[in-house]
Structure 1
Amino acid sequence: MKEKIVILQNDIWKMEVDAIICHANTELEMCEAISSLLLEYGGDDIQNECNSFEQLMKGQAVLTTAGQLPAQSIIHAIVHNLGEDHNDGEEEFLMKAIREAFILIKEKKFKSIALPLIGSSSLNIPVKRAAELIMAEVKKHLDGETFVETVYFVAQSYIMYDAIDEAHRQL
């Protein structure tokens, strides 16, 4: 299972994978740093498809096109309400959204996944803790029946890389 996890520093919007998991809010407005770059490079088709969803809740995950990105799809892990202050319990929504994302991954029989360290900036979860939470959910998926061959954790900084690497070593 550990060999299926690859940690790297890269531009996630350049990844040739079946799906990219990204942070999302309940309105699917792609306004966070990484999601806005996915939209910029992927084109308006992504946001147009996002606009077709209604009444989404924290902890859900939904799949859209990846537009002009080299990835096939984007899975939006909904971790907060647009404009909301972050409270206790955010870790629960992060874990639930990642779990829901991996349910979609299993349904679609995706083999390669890329994801950034969701939650560390958007939910104010400490970087190390966000890495531990997400790694635990990925491990649960990879330990079960799966088509996934590779999960790419894409770090945006050395601090994030080190936190993901430490969480990976603790598996």
Structure 2
Amino acid sequence: MTRITLVEGDITAQQVDVVVNAANSSLLGGGGVDGAIHRRGGHRILEDCRALRASRYGRGLPTGQAVATTAGDLPARWVVHTVGPVYLADEYEKRAELLASCYRESLRVAAELGARTVAFPAVSAGIFGWPPADAARIALGTVAAVAAELGSGPEEVRFVLFGSEMFEVFAGVGRELGVTVQE
């Protein structure tokens, strides 16, 4: 059974098997979580991302998909990069499915790697403008459903939330959904 935990903190400091990166489609670094992971992880992550761009993802990683690289200098084994959708209210259904896909695909890749612990940020809830409570509902609901389906997936999925406001939003939504989360 997968345990879902919530932590307020820095995702780049998490000692886990997999850190999930809220990447941009170029895979070459950016701002927010993506920039922090590339800065702290060092050049090996960027080298792996460049190799992915030169082979499978010449046009970039599609939104909702996930791919793994080394974790470089992070205290993790791998980074799973996923591209979240930008929030657009008039395309909500399509984009909400893409956001859920980020979590599903990241967990699938983590399970293929044999990961026991996975740390997620709040994908798309920052600069991509997704309303935090809705992002939390999609994230927690999807992870709980996928964990139940996998059965033998990760032992722990940890949401590492930047700031007390985002932490409180996720904690409240977890209680509302009846998802067993450990804070």
Tell me if both proteins adopt one fold, taking TM over 0.5 as the criterion. Answer: yes
The answer on whether the counterparts of 2:87 and 2:130 sit within 8 Å (CA) in structure 1 is no
Aligned residue number for residue 165 of structure 1: 171
Correspondence for 2:153 among 144, 147, 158: 147
Aligned residue number for residue 31 of structure 1: 30
TM-score, L = length of structure 1 = 0.89
* Distance (Å, rounded) in 2 between the aligned partners of 1:152 and 1:95: 16
Cα distance, 1:24 vs structure 2: 1.4
Correspondence for 1:59 among 44, 61, 64: 64
TM-score, L = length of structure 2 = 0.84
Higher deviation after alignment, 87-96 or 62-71: 87-96
Higher deviation after alignment, 50-59 or 85-94: 85-94
Higher deviation after alignment, 60-69 or 18-27: 18-27
Q: Does 1:135 align with 2:140?
A: yes
* Unaligned segments of structure 1, at least 5 residues: none
Runs of 4+ in 1 over 3 A off after TM superposition: none
The answer on whether the counterparts of 1:18 and 1:72 sit within 8 Å (CA) in structure 2 is yes
Tell me the C-alpha RMSD between the 2 structures.
1.7
Correspondence for 1:101 among 103, 106, 116: 106
Correspondence for 2:127 among 99, 106, 122: 122
How many pairs does the alignment contain? Answer: 166
* Unaligned segments of structure 2, at least 5 residues: none
Cα distance, 1:71 vs structure 2: 0.6
Aligned residue number for residue 5 of structure 2: 6
* Distance (Å, rounded) in 2 between the aligned partners of 1:108 and 1:13: 19
1:28-74 deviations in whole A, cap 9, x for unaligned?
12212111111111101101111122233111101011101111111
Which SS does the other structure have where 1:41 is aligned? helix
Output the amino acid matched with 1:34: V
Cα distance, 1:165 vs structure 2: 0.7
Output the amino acid matched with 1:63: A
Output the amino acid matched with 1:5: I
